[in-house]
């Protein structure tokens, strides 16, 4: 189970780094979560419109603005 969690974290970090590379502003998911920053835009990720958006940040590392842009 612990190995699966580590593998999933590595996979999500790799995906977020690819997106960050494309945007030129972001960072890895782990770095974003630790610093409460967005993986895509690099801005603060501290204000969310609801609990679902907060949960999404923990999964994707995207701030509310980036979530709204990509999911709506």
Is residue 61 a contact partner of residue 45, using CB atoms and an 8 Å limit?
yes
CA distances to 19, 31, 49, 57 from 68, in Å: 16, 21, 10, 12
Give the per-residue pLDDT at 29. Answer: 86
The whole-model pTM stands at 0.76
Q: Does pLDDT of 2 surpass 80?
A: no
Q: What is the dihedral of CA 8, 9, 15, 21, to 10 degrees?
A: -170
Is residue 20 a contact partner of residue 27, using CB atoms and an 8 Å limit?
yes
Query: pLDDT tens, 9-47?
Result: 887 777 777 776 666 677 888 889 999 999 888 899 999
């Amino acid at each position: 189970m612990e190995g699966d969690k580590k593998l999933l974290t590595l996979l999500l970090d790799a995906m977020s780094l690819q997106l960050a590379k494309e945007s030129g502003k972001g960072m890895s998911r782990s770095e974003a979560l630790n610093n409460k920053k967005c993986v895509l835009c690099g801005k603060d990720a501290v204000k969310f419109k609801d609990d679902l958006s907060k949960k999404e940040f923990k999964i994707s590392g995207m701030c509310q603005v980036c979530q709204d842009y990509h999911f709506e």
